Amino acid sequence: MSLAKKFLLAGAVTFGIYFIYTIVDRSLFVYVEEASPSRFAQTYNPDRVVNRYKSDPRGPIGGAGSELEAGRHFVTENKLWRRHFFIHPGDQSRLMDAVREDLLASLTNSGAHIIHEPGAPILSPASAGFEVRYYTQHINGIVVVQPPSPWDARTEGLHSTPVGDNAVELKVQINERWFRSERQAQAGGWPDARQVSSL
């Protein structure tokens, strides 16, 4: 075989391998249009709990943001609530207990299966918060709740804090992964609880 033919053959083999690799790689890629959030992620809102514990009618202030990202094997949805409000210091641990109970009830009522609930609800603002892991149909997810942290009410144009109360920010984050099959969702690994959202 001449040298030219060898080069042509090597080129054809290389192109064939690259073509097959491209097809396989594209088949593993999951696009945003294919995915849909869980019923839990669509309906959950922490305001129903916050409203019971806020000490001042001004609030909760803040909003929610979400982002979708396509990727290999799954689509990721990240959703974050930031709530700013005033609360009696003695109610902060009760607030976290209530948030946890409401989360577990919301997950159960939406048909999700809770598979990992490490630790206990936090008992003081200095604690690390808690997380709950779950799966439902094509989705696995994790909810991360951070403890109330100090909030400067002046950033929202509020120049007075009720006497004896704390101005706090509560963060609740949902991170879900949507897979093409339920088997993949149960075996595909979990979102990183340490991820800090940029929302």
To the nearest whole percent, how much of the chain has pLDDT over 70?
66
Question: Residue 55, Cβ neighbours under 10 Å: how many?
Answer: 17
108 band by pLDDT with thresholds 50, 70 and 90: very high
Predicted local confidence at residue 170, as pLDDT:
92
110 band by pLDDT with thresholds 50, 70 and 90: very high
69 band by pLDDT with thresholds 50, 70 and 90: confident
Q: Which residue has the higher pLDDT, 15 or 188?
A: 188
Predicted local confidence at residue 93, as pLDDT:
87
Say if residues 83 and 111 touch (Cβ distance below 8 Å). Answer: no
Helices (H), the chain: 3-28, 39-43, 47-53, 92-109, 182-187
Q: Whole-model pTM? A: 0.73
Arithmetic mean of pLDDT, 59-72 = 73
131 DSSP assignment = E
Nearest alpha-carbon partner for 136 in 107, 103, 116, 172: 107
Q: Is the pLDDT of residue 20 over 50?
A: no
Say if residues 77 and 176 touch (Cβ distance below 8 Å). Answer: yes
Q: Which residue has the higher pLDDT, 149 or 156?
A: 149
Alpha-carbon span 65 to 80, nearest angstrom: 5
Mean pLDDT of the chain: 75
Predicted local confidence at residue 137, as pLDDT:
85
pLDDT digits (tens, 9 = 90+) for 28-49: 567 766 767 888 988 999 998 9
Say if residues 28 and 72 touch (Cβ distance below 8 Å). Answer: yes
Alpha-carbon span 133 to 72, nearest angstrom: 21
Predicted local confidence at residue 16, as pLDDT:
47
Q: Is the pLDDT of residue 76 over 70?
A: yes
